[in-house]
Amino acid sequence: MNPFDNIFSLSGKTAFIAGASRGIGLAIAQALAASGAHTILAARSMDKLAAHAAALPNARALALDVTSSESIRLAVDAAGDVDILVSVSGTNVRKRFVDFTQEEYERIMQTNLHGIVELTKLVGEKMIRRGQGGKIINIGSMMSLLGLPYIAVYAISKGGLSQLTKALAAEWGQYNIQVNCIAPGFILTDLNRAMWQPPEMEKWLKHAQANPRIGRPEDVAPLAVFLAGRHERHRPPGPRLLDHRGQEAGFRKRADRDRCAAARGRRQKLGRVTGRKLRRLELIRVRVARRVGDVDFDVRVDPLEVRDQQVVPGLLGGIQQQVDRDRVAPLRRLRRARGDPECQGGGQRDRSHKRA
C-alpha cells in the first residue's frame, strides 16, 4: 500500500468542533467534513448549527455552552467516541486593562480558557481510556506569542491556551495523542468585523505585516486538516504561528525597525561614545574626556549598562564629572609605581583625609 494514498483523508474519524457556528470554527468544520470526517458542530446557536450541519456530508449539530460545566459534560457524553477535538470558542473585549470589570474578566477567561480546559479534560480522558490515540487542536492567537494593547485579558487566556497545549503534548504523547495550537494572524471574522471597517485600520495593516490583505477563516482551515491527519505524529508540539499573509515576517520587520530606532536614541545620549554601532552585549570602547594628571585613559562600558544608567553618571552628562574610583585607582597605582611625584603618598593623604 502506498503510504501517500489519500494522504489527507479523515475517513472513519469523528471530529468535534467547539465553536463551529461561524468564522474559523465553521471553516474548519467544513474542511474536516470535506476530508471525510464525521463532523460534530457544537456551539450555543443551535439554529445556525442545524443549517450548517445539513449542508455538510455526515455532520450533526450539538448544543454546547463552554461557560457551563453541565453543558460541556452533556455534549461530551452525546458526542460519543471522538478522534479529533478542535476548540475554537472565543470572545474578546477591547479596552484599557484598568477598565475591565470582574464580570468581563471572568466571561473572557471562562469562554477562552477555562471552558476549553474542561472540554479537553473530558474528551482527552475518553481518548486515553479508548487507547486509539487522537488529535487535539486548539485555536490560539498571535496573543499566544505576542502582546498588543487593550486586549490584556484576551492575551492572558490565549497565552494560557498555548501553555496548556505544550504541557498536554508532553503528557499525552505516550498515549499517541498529538496536541497542537494554531495561532492565526489577523483574520476577519464576525468577532472583529466592525474593528476593521475604518479606513485607518486598513492603512495600519499595510505597515503591520508583509502582505496587506487581511486573512480569512478559509486560510486557517487547511492547517487544521493537516494537524488532524495521520501524518501529524512526529512534528514537535506547540503553537503554529500561521504566517499565511506574512504576519510573522511583518512583525519581525517592525521589531527590527524599533530596535534600530532605540539604538539611534542611545547613540545620541552617549554623546562622546566612539564606535558606529551598538551591538547587543558587545563591549565598546569609550573615550573619556577627563584627564587624571597628564594621562588620558579609556574605560570599557557595556552599552546595556549605559542604557540602564548603571555606569558613571558623567558618561551621560558630558563626561566631565568625577570618574568612578574603581576605574581610576589602577591608573594611580601604575603611575605611583613609575615614581610619579604627584601620586607619591596619595593613598596616605586620602586616608588621613578620611580620618579627619
Active-site positions read 154
Residue 281 in grid coordinates: 552585549
Q: How far is CA 342 from the centre of its chain?
A: 60
Residues 6+ apart with CB under 8 A from 344: 336
Q: How far apart are alpha carbons 63 and 47 in whole angstroms?
A: 10
Beta-bridged to residue 292, according to DSSP, are 295
Beta-bridged to residue 273, according to DSSP, are 286
CB of 148 within 8 A of CB of 121? no
Residue 174 in grid coordinates: 505516550
Q: Rounded to 5 degrees, what are φ and ψ at 268?
A: -65, -40
Give the CA radius of gyration of the chain.
30
Number of C-beta neighbours around residue 160 at 10 A: 18
